[in-house]
Every structure is written in structure tokens, then in C-alpha cells.
Amino acid sequence: MLRTHTCGQLNISNLGETITLCGWVQKSRDLGGTTFIDVRDRYGLTQLVLNTDTDANLREAGRQLGREFVIRVTGKVVERSNKNTKIATGEIEITVTELEILNAAKIPPFLIEDETDGGEELRAKYRYLDLRRNPIRQNLVLRHKMAQEIRRYLSDLDFIEVETPVLIKSTPEGARDFVVPSRMNPGEFYALPQSPQTFKQLLMVSGFDRYFQIVKCFRDEDLRADRQPEFTQIDCEMSFITQEDILNIFEGLTRHLFSKVKGLELGDFPRMQYADAMRLYGSDKPDTRFGMEFVELNDIVKGKGFSIFDNAELVVGINAKGCASYTRKQLDELTEWLKRPQIGATGLIYCRYNTDGTLKSSVDKFYSEDELTNWAASFEAEQGDLILILAGQTDKVRKQMNELRLEIGSRLGLRDKNKFAPLWVLDFPLLEWDEETERYHAMHHPFTSPKPEDIALLDTDPKNVRANAYDLVINGTEIGGGSIRIHDRELQALMFKHLGFSKEEAQKQFGFLMDAFEYGAPPHGGIAFGFDRLTSIFAGLDSIRDVIAFPKNNSGRDVMIDSPSTIAEAQMNELKIKTTVS
């Protein structure tokens, strides 16, 4: 080894030892006849001392070092007179006797510091430099620890880690596939897996009753802070189990991770029906760190001559505690925020419960103070509270109110990243109607089992068929989801029929799975956690990019290696494909 210790290893117990360190120059400072240099590696930082009185030539060599030079130093561990209690090596420093430059470095395009001056695009272009910064490195160390604990927990419960193929067949699973042309089969394409769904079900047919995999998945969809074109799942499947077994085991996994990685003990997770989540929060992934549940007002506001309420399918509101002091300017700003295209509300109705006990509404013309008192009672409002109301088509207005609730929660400081509110959301609809294609699609995927008592509704009332499906939500983010699967060929064929597949289409796309069901498929079910999302919550981040070593931007580009890119004409000819870009 070129070094005897790392830059985060030495402490007061090493006094008097002669050691050798390797690392990058963080910064240097000249004070009189002494130069202090901070040298850094992934383990920490150590202060070096070079003194003119001891060795003037060595000190002068140290003064020539630039930021990010890679160096090797030998010296003696001595006690610091001015100790730094913020770092592990802060009680000692190294009196340097030998200095070797292993590699010089250009001036980096941004500061390699915890708080950097580099913008997001610049840091993405030089990601290998960004990864030297403590916050990013700590995120990847956190990710490693979580992966280790996941493997330990599942292996102790007899799960087997099995790798599944990356080059597979294109199947409709909700998002667009990434496809790969086959040179040996001209005109045919592999697809990259959106998930290992069919393979893990085949593993159940094969008798591997407990499978898991920390696996790359690929979806060609529009990107945002918590999406990447390639992402990682904790993918799991089990045979001979009920929904309750899966909830208990993976609730246990989540508690295990919080305990071992963050030192936090979580109790049992609350459970909520999908229908209640939509009614009370307007979201199938509600943030339950704070209340502010929806109150539906149809019964008490309609029929008073106010057409916006009278013509609405749903009138719904929230109680913003302590916000009656909001000025008209603040309320107008909030209204404009709601009117943005991303949310699409047409307006906002409010009612102040003033500290003097009076009620003041933006629709006073239509509602008396006695009627406003009924509003306040419905919201259990107190003096100083602000009632915010939206009206319109049910699904749209619930989504809009969800956005408003989250925004008010953020403004009131109720979305504390150090507080964790896990929740199971159960009994999702099996199917959802797609206006563009004018047919039903599987809300999760076509292998999800309907509730046995709802199977008869597939023919008569498909929109009200519930799925044996469940999602784990933490702090308003969907961490994972799964279902009990269909394991019977006849029921699977019925499901494909209701999803609009002909028998021929179903056989072409999924014949291999349906054929496998004829050879003794066990009852089975599973779940997949978004590993990137889960890690970002542990790290207290809004975006998953900084828990991924080499992420892509919102356009799906890796600006560091300039990918995607065109390929040589010879490769195109070899693959027998042509492109037309208009």
C-alpha cells in the first residue's frame, strides 16, 4: 500500500507515530513561516504542517500545491494546539518530513466543498468531481449500508437472490420500453425490463418460494425529481402466502432499515383504504406527517345561489390552522399559484375565522355569518384559522386540493424531513379508464389479482373491482407497491379480455406465462420498493439524483459522457436499421 493510514483514521492515540497518507489537497493556508494543508480522502480529512524553520525547501514545495493535487506525505503525528472538534482527526496534525506529488490537477470548475458554487448542470458534467464532495459521498455510503441490511434481512428469512435477464421481450406494462436491436435477428428487438415481473412469477412456478433482487429497471417516461430512465428496485416475490404475510414481512424490512441505518425505531404502520386516501387527502400517497384532512361541503353550501358551488360535482376544503392573518396579497398569490397549468384550478374561496370571533369570506354576498359558522363547525375551526375551499369535477378538484394541502403544509413547516410517517394504502381499483384509448388499463399491471368477492363485477361493473394490491407510502412518497398475483390461467385470460387483448394478442405477449400456469403455479404475491426513493428519504433529499452515482438530467441525458448519442453508420448497417429524424 502507498499509505499506512487513511485521512480519517488518526487520532490522539497515534501521537508520535510516523505515518504515510495519500489523498487530495482540500486547501492550504500560509501563516507566517508555516503552511497548513488539508489532505482529504473518502474517509476524512487530516491537517498537514510544513514549517520553514524545519525544512524550508519542503515548505516551499508545499506552497506550490494546488487544490485537488494528489499527494503522498510521510510525517509524525503531533498534538494540535488549536483543536477542531468538528472532525474525527481534529486533535492531531502531521508534521511532514516527505512530500510527493502523485498527480497535479487543473483548477476544478467548482469548489469541492460541502457548500459548492457549482450549479446542477455543471456538477453533472463533472460528476466525478461532484462525487468527491462529502454530501454526495455520504449518500452513496448510506445507499451501500442500506443494500447490505436489505440483503441481510431477506437472507435471514430464507429469500434467495436470483438475477433475471436484462434483454427481454417487449410487453405492455404501463410505460414505454427502451428497446435494443438484435444484430443476429434483423428487424427484431429486445426490450429492457420495466421490472422483472414475469420472471419472478416464473420463479414461483419453479418452486423458488422466496425470491429477491436489487435490480436495475428501465422506463422511457417523462422525468422529474423522483424519476430516472434507469432506476433500482428491491424486487421480491413469495409463494403460499396471503397479503397479510407480505405486509408484515416488508413492514419489518422497513423498520429494520430505520433501526440499523438511522437508529430510529418505528412502530406498526397504519393502514388506509385507497378510497379513504382519495376522499381525505386527494392522493393515493398521502403525507400523514400532518392532518389538514379534506372536508366535503356539498350538503351545506349548495342551493344558496352561488353558481360555482351549485354547479360543482364536489366542494371540498381544508383548515389552515393559524393562517387567518394571511393578507389579501398572500391569498391572491396563493390563488395564482393554484391557477398554474401544472395544477389548473380556476379559483380559490376562503373564509377567515378572525381572532375576534367574526367570520369573513370571499363569498359573503351569498352566505350569512350563521352559515359561515356552520362552515367553521364542519372544519372544527378555531379563532385564527383560515378555511380554503375549491370546487369542480371530483377527481380534478381532489388533486388540486392535494397540491394546496401539501403547499400549505410546507409553508407552515409541517413537512419535517426528520419525521417519518409510514402508511399502507390498500385495496386499489383493479382497473382505470383511459380516455385516449377508450378502454380499461390495469392500475398496477395485468397480473394483479382482483379481490375474490369482486370477480363477478368484472363483467357488470369493472370500475368498482378492487385489487389485492397495496402500496407503502412514507412522507407522501410511494416507496413500494405490490399485489397478490393471478396464478390461474382462466382468471388471467379473463383479465386480459377485460384489458382489451384478443386471445391471439394475449398469447403472443404473455403465452409463456399462461403456459407456465398450466404446470402447477402456486398462489403467490410480491412487492417492489423503489430503492432510490427510499434512500433519498433516508438522506433527507427531495431528488433521487444525489443518491445515484451517475444520474441523468430531466432530458434523460448523461451530460458527463454525452449520452445518448448517434452511432456509426457501419453499426447501423450491421443492425439493419435506419433512422428518420424530422
Neighbour tally for 430: CB within 10 Å: 29
CA distance 366 to 351: 13
Residue numbers belonging to the annotated binding site for L-aspartate: 173, 219, 444, 485
Residue ranges at the known binding site for ATP:
219-221, 228, 478, 530-533
Do residues 89 and 8 touch, judged by C-beta distance below 8 A?
yes
Task: Name every residue whose Cβ is closer than 8 Å to that of residue 358 and which is 6 or more positions away in sequence.
Answer: 369
Q: How far is CA 87 from CA 10, 23, 40, 93, 305, in A?
A: 11, 17, 12, 12, 68
Q: Are 39 and 46 in contact (CB under 8 A)?
A: yes
Looking up cell 371540498 gives 316
Amino acid at 355: T
How wide is the angle at C-alpha 366 spanned by C-alphas 361 and 367, nearest 5°? 60
Contact 517, 205 (CB under 8 A): yes
Measured distance CA(382)–CA(493) in Å, rounded = 56
Q: Which parts are annotated binding residues?
A: 173, 219-221, 228, 444, 478, 485, 530-533
Enter the DSSP assignment of 555.
T
C-alpha to C-alpha distance for 316 and 366, rounded to whole angstroms? 17
- Would you say how long the chain is, in residues? 582
Cell 438530467 belongs to residue: 553
Phi, psi for residue 82 in degrees, rounded to 5: -110, 90
Q: Among positive and negative, which fits the CA dihedral 397, 399, 405, 410? A: negative
Close Cβ partners of 459 (under 8 Å, ≥ 6 residues apart): none
Contacts 24+ apart (CB under 8 A), 302-309: 304/366, 304/367, 304/371, 305/366, 306/363, 306/366, 306/367, 308/347, 308/349, 308/391, 309/391
Helices 531-539, 134-156: axis angle to 10 degrees equals 120
CA 134 – CA 112 distance, rounded (Å): 9
Task: State the Cα torsion 148-151-153-158 to the nearest 10°.
Answer: -160
Phi-psi category of 260—alpha, beta or left, where left has phi over 0 and alpha has psi -120 to 50?
alpha
Looking up cell 510516523 gives 18
